[in-house]
Structure 1
């Protein structure tokens, strides 16, 4: 196999076949970039600082499958507080599913939410391959996915945009 001397990331070809660590790292880097893009549209300083904190956490979880989880219990608690604050603030905003519509920031938060679900899927797949994955990593990824869901509700709420409910024909018959 050809290995370019200009490769942007050394693990692109060196990762063993039985691990998804490189995929996890590339997607987490992409997510961090998307959060940075979203943050560029945020004027609220408190929320901007929160997104910066979350972006740093994403970079800390990036090498977890290859090395170890370096997120501290204190950082996890701060993340949980951020999540719970948004969940409380948007309480009653939607009952179940909503279409990923609304403001530009809300729809982009939905994209990031979904990316965290994909990252979570990679982490579970890594475990199915027989590798150890910290339980806390699974918790962090779930919290981050939900955080960005609540953030999308917050963005729509702050612009007086109503959520569009979605009722599934498959799950609620």
Structure 2
């Protein structure tokens, strides 16, 4: 049975919620990421003004990413250039701190940033699936989403560094 828009709008949480295409799932993932960032922002203490400013600038970009598959593209080269520059800034600030895999743990908001990182990866995977489904979108979207996932990881390293929290290495028995 195909669902349709209910008469009572209280029974309808999103205009595209009953679609069977992956576009709606992509939009929900990007919305989830924006919400995760809101949680991170609520948990940032003093001494993290630079990270707060970056995340506040990033939230609207994620909603631009959200609408860029169904609607017109809202992510541009200057957005990815800015994100790469911020990534490089934080990476250089913590150079040598992480040399391999680490366990995703630490004080808040580190675990929440790891959830952002994982959601970023899910967004990349959803873009792969959307492309497989035949959906057309600008190639900058998966580029931006990949940088997003990496950006969230480097923020975990910066926060733990500033709080003097050690990274816990993970040594794989699989590779």
Q: How high is the TM-score relative to the length of structure 2?
A: 0.90
Unaligned runs of 5+ in 1: none
Equivalent residue in structure 2 for 1:170, among 165, 170, 174: 174
- Whole-Å Cα distance in 2 between the matches of residues 148 and 68 of structure 1? 26
1:98: which partner in 2?
A: 102
Give how far 1:102 is off: 1.3
The reply on whether 1:11 has 2:16 as its aligned counterpart is yes
Asked whether 1:64 is paired with 2:68, we answer yes
Q: CA deviation at 1:147?
A: 0.4
Does the 8 Å CA contact 2:30/2:62 hold for their aligned counterparts? yes
**Pick aligned residue for 2:28 from 26, 29, 34:** 26
Q: Is the 8 A contact 1:24 1:119 kept in 2?
A: yes
The counterpart of 2:38, out of the listed 24, 36, 57, is 36
Cα shift at 1:73: 2.1
Q: Identify which of 105, 109, 113 aligns with 1:109.
A: 113
Q: Give, in whole Å, the separation in 2 of the partners of 1:2 and 1:150.
A: 42
Cα distance in structure 1, aligned partners of 2:133 and 2:170: 35
**Which residue of structure 2 lines up, in the alignment, with residue 143 of structure 1?**
147
Conserved in 1, the CA contact under 8 Å of 2:39 and 2:112? no
Counting matched residue pairs gives: 168
Q: Secondary structure at the match of 1:155?
A: helix
Structural RMSD (CA): 1.4
Any conservation in 2 of the 1:126–1:133 contact (CA below 8 Å)? Answer: no
Q: Which residue of 2 aligns with 1:74?
A: 78
Query: What is the Cα deviation at residue 134 of structure 1?
Result: 2.0
- Which residue does 1:88 correspond to in 2? 92
Give, in whole Å, the separation in 1 of the partners of 2:68 and 2:49. Answer: 30
Q: Is residue 46 of structure 1 aligned with residue 50 of structure 2? A: yes
Worse overlay, 152-161 or 130-139: 130-139
Query: Is the CA contact 1:103–1:155 (under 8 Å) kept in the aligned structure 2?
Result: no
Normalising by structure 1, what TM-score?
0.91
